[in-house]
Structure 1
Amino acid sequence: MYLQIREIVLWPRNPSFEPRRLQFELGKVNVISGASRTGKSAVIPIIDYCLGAGTCSIPVKTIRKYCEWFGIVVATAQGDKLLARREPGAQRSTDDMYLLEAERIKDIPHRIAKNINADAVKRLLDELAGLSKLDFSGGSESTGFDSRPSFRDLAAFTFQPQNVVANPDVLFFKANTYEHREKLRKIFPYVLGVVTPALMAKQFELGRARQELRRKERELRDAQEVSARWLANLKAKFSEAQELGLIPKPEQELSRGQMIERLEEVVARTDLTLSVSSSTISNALRELSDLEVEERDVSRDLTTLRHRLGEMNRMRGGVDQYQAALVLQRGRLQLSSWLVSHTDDKADCPMCGSHTDSATRKLAVLSERLQEVEAEASVDKELPAAFDRELQRVTAEVEQVTERLRSVQIRKRALSGRSAEARQRQFAAQRAERFVGNLESALDLHRRLGSDRELVEEVVRLRERAQRLDAELREQDIEARKRRALRAISNNAGRLLPHLDVESPNDPISLEINDLTIKVHGQERDDYLSEIGSGSNWLSYHLAVLLALHQFFLSQRRGPIPAFLVLDQPSQVYFPKRIAALPKDEDGEDVEEPQLRDEDVNAVRKAFEVMGRVTREAAGGLQLIVLDHASHDVWGDIDGVVGLTEWRNGDKLVPMTWLTDV
């Protein structure tokens, strides 16, 4: 993404003063150097605030006291854009912003007023970066760390403030906070071009297909369960039809489809005659007796299973209680170790200093018991995984047997009621009419629930669609593409390290995006950045990896990362105090800086030479802004490196003339 800083603009509270303008050159290393407390470290918070930061980190007192608006002019592929934001006062931030767009902005308004808000500016920047509107969970709504990538997430690659530029534990801007670290881990494959908007759209489609498939499968299961319960009623209806003489007793057990076919024939008949007799009633009584035997058998099985399930649950609770008892006992005996640690040769009792053999023996017993309890507690008392599987199996079996018992009871109740009614009204034609009416309704319900061909076909279609999308995503091989991208970045950094002040310049390195740090692969062992000593190493690795990342971003066709990088005080590891805290003369001004060691100057100069070389190779595609105490004598005359007027002798970010009451 082509976005570079053309200038920084400050508007004074006093309208009689002109805005302060700091202009930078595009595609080069721009250096702002000067003494301490001149406002150099405020440049990163100003740029970040104008690009939509959630809070204002611009230093208070002088800068925020005498400035009413902060602004930046950025050069983009769509022309220049002036983004300004009001000083928030006592608030953490303000949404009041000003936007001016033109092919080339040369004149800055003397006074400005709000014409846009921060959210609109962030949407504008998202569009400039070409960021996907889909989130990482496959939707379009914010869902925590899975929310869609935003321009604000990309600030990690554009700023290296003073507390980060040579930090062994933190490699990226704001990665020291949990929220930013987790979101950065999430978006890293996206900014590397591994996960493209097209892939995100396909992942979104796959997520939707799987979600719809789960819903349809649940509906199908529910329909099948309803159909299973209906089967018990179906058998009862078939028996009732036999009692009424509507269907002859079959010679062999009929299948579900055959029973439905026979009952549908009953519904279709128009010449129904009742044939209730003692034989049909006897058949019903025999079936009732068989159902009672089946009910006893199923009840016995269910009782056994419930007893086993109860024992297993008690076993799980017993393990937890035993662990709790060990913890309690260990806590009570902990005092013995403290007493033993306070006894010496002069006294056995740490409280009164007396010699008592019995106390020593008792302490030894208590201490030995404590060791036994701690040894017992250290042994893993967790139940094996097979126990959980057995518990799930027994639970599922209890549910199945319970459902089987319920089906038997349904048939038994229906059969008992019909047998009594048949004896009372053997020849009642109305009974057959009501039965046929209920049977017709039941068959219609079964056709809608138990034989839903459309639902089955839709489940099959969704399953095939999910499998096809999953196969297409596997073909993309995201992990392999990620490895190739990280290998390219590591190679870029490896070419830069020999030109920097690093202890082992030829040891290969890798960027670990899961840990958000650097790993150095030595001959004997691999070390993370935090395990390596020396500030010069930390600075060199930071600089090499950040520059390597931007080289990689520039190689992408449409990368979302802005084409600038701001570094604050990279020379601090070499001379942090001699320039940072200069002595004052009698007039209160900084005295001339002391002579620096040649090896320190050479090391800093190496860093600037590498930065100049990278910007030259980018051919205007990358801009660096360096804020440093080092003077022109250190970094001057390096190709691709330019400097503003040094801020010394009263020249600061905020002009001294502004420091009047407003």
Structure 2
Amino acid sequence: MQIRSIILYSKSGEKRVLDFRLGELNIVTGTSQTGKSALLDIVDFCLGRDEATLPISPIFNTVAWYAVILQLPDTRILAARPAPRPGAKSVTNAMLEVGNDLGIPELPDLRVNTDSTQLRQQLGRRIGIGDTRSEPAPGSLLSPLSANLGHAVLLCLQNQDEVASKRALFHRQNERGIPESLKATIPYFLGAVPEDQATLQQQLTQAKRALRRAENDLKAAQEANQGIEARLESLLSEARVHGLLPDNSVDTSDRAAVIEALQQAASFRPTPTTQTRNSGGRNSSSPNSHPLSDGSCAPSQKNANS
């Protein structure tokens, strides 16, 4: 992708066009304070940057739209942005148009038909930037990052002070968040990661989450199992104390045997009391009879002959 033209539209409808020769080195010269240093900011803005870094001067205060015409091997693309309103720090409105014989439109033909995010995504797809989602390191507070045209621009532009800088190599490298973005996306642009890196990373992340859930479920099941073992032993001891089970009759290491023994203990029913008449005319209970709930024996009844 090459820049074919940079166009500035004034509010009165006039336009200033700066054409470039494709496939050649272009050197822009001119007197001081004519806007040469702002060309990179204009290109960056037209390619989808939201932050308004354009100069504030009488020249740029008259601009209504900024536009660039990009040349691709098989087509041309017009990327245009309305000028930010006075005092605005950012703008997201944009215009994108594609055509093989696309020319320079007039001001009335410019209209907003997209936003800066979609503009970068569509331009990125046109030049072959795929879905390259980069996952941050575990424990990092950074959000997942997808390489786009904005990251590619960082590798293509350099301001005058950046060219002479001993501490920065890339465009806007000293700005907050830019070093992290460069670190995450340069491997993709160098071809060090495959096109399906985003899909593979997403699958890996999902697999790690599933593994953590399974490990947590296993831990919870093990803790619950320990609680069940303790409860079974407690019930078994209680059944032995009450004489429902003989001592040491069950192997406590065999859960199935313990459960079966407890089921038998739960189904235990005491032998019912049988009353008989003795020779003295009083009722007496059998040797296996049980006392009443208040602890007294059954009252005697008078003989029917008395």
Q: TM-score range by the shorter chain?
A: 0.7 to 0.9
Alignment of 1:28 with 2:27, yes or no, is no
The residue that corresponds to 1:83 in the other structure is 79
Structure holding more helix per residue? 1
Say whether the 8 Å CA contact 2:80–2:94 is kept in structure 1.
yes
The residue that corresponds to 2:247 in the other structure is 249
The residue that corresponds to 1:399 in the other structure is none
SS of the aligned residue for 1:178 comes to coil
The residue that corresponds to 1:147 in the other structure is 145
Mapped to 2, the partners of 1:109 and 1:265 lie a distance apart of 94
The residue that corresponds to 1:172 in the other structure is 170
- Residue 148 of structure 1: CA displacement? 2.1
Mapped to 2, the partners of 1:73 and 1:158 lie a distance apart of 17
Say whether the 8 Å CA contact 2:84–2:90 is kept in structure 1.
yes
Larger Rg: 2
Write the mapping of 1:573-612 to structure 2, written as runs, cut at 5 A. Answer: none
Counterpart of 1:182 (choices 176, 180, 183) is: 180
Aligned-partner residue type, residue 229 of structure 2: L
SS of the aligned residue for 2:146 comes to coil
Q: Quickly say closer, same or farther: Cα 1:109–1:168, change in 2 above 3 A.
A: same
Give the share of equivalent positions with the same residue, in percent: 25
SS of the aligned residue for 2:162 comes to coil
The residue that corresponds to 1:654 in the other structure is none
Please give the per-residue CA displacement for 1:545-588, whole angstroms capped at 9, x wherever unaligned.
xxxxxxxxxxxxxxxxxxxxxxxxxxxxxxxxxxxxxxxxxxxx
Query: TM-score when scaled to structure 1?
Result: 0.38
Write the mapping of 1:229-628 to structure 2, written as runs, cut at 5 A. Answer: 229-250=227-248, 254-256=251-253, 258-264=254-260, 266-267=262-263, 272-274=268-270
Say whether the 8 Å CA contact 1:138–1:204 is kept in structure 2.
no
Q: Quickly say closer, same or farther: Cα 1:259–1:238, change in 2 above 3 A.
A: farther
The residue that corresponds to 1:127 in the other structure is 125
- Residue 271 of structure 1: CA displacement? 6.7
Mapped to 1, the partners of 2:129 and 2:78 lie a distance apart of 20
Alignment of 1:94 with 2:91, yes or no, is yes
- Residue 25 of structure 1: CA displacement? 2.0
- Residue 66 of structure 1: CA displacement? 2.1
Please give the per-residue CA displacement for 1:293-348, whole angstroms capped at 9, x wherever unaligned.
xxxxxxxxxxxxxxxxxxxxxxxxxxxxxxxxxxxxxxxxxxxxxxxxxxxxxxxx
Q: Quickly say closer, same or farther: Cα 1:219–1:271, change in 2 above 3 A.
A: closer
Please give the per-residue CA displacement for 1:411-468, whole angstroms capped at 9, x wherever unaligned.
xxxxxxxxxxxxx98xxxxxxxxxxxxxxxxxxxxxxxxxxxxxxxxxxxxxxxxxxx
Aligned-partner residue type, residue 267 of structure 1: Q
Counterpart of 2:102 (choices 80, 101, 105) is: 105
CA root-mean-square deviation: 2.8
Please give the per-residue CA displacement for 1:254-301, whole angstroms capped at 9, x wherever unaligned.
343x243242255379973459xxxxxxxxxxxxxxxxxxxxxxxxxx
SS of the aligned residue for 1:197 comes to coil
* Count of aligned pairs: 269
- Residue 234 of structure 1: CA displacement? 0.9
Aligned-partner residue type, residue 226 of structure 1: A
Mapped to 2, the partners of 1:171 and 1:181 lie a distance apart of 11
Mapped to 2, the partners of 1:174 and 1:41 lie a distance apart of 15
Q: Please list every run of 5 or more consecutive structure 2 residues that lacks an aligned counterpart in the other structure.
A: 272-291, 294-306
Mapped to 1, the partners of 2:96 and 2:266 lie a distance apart of 84
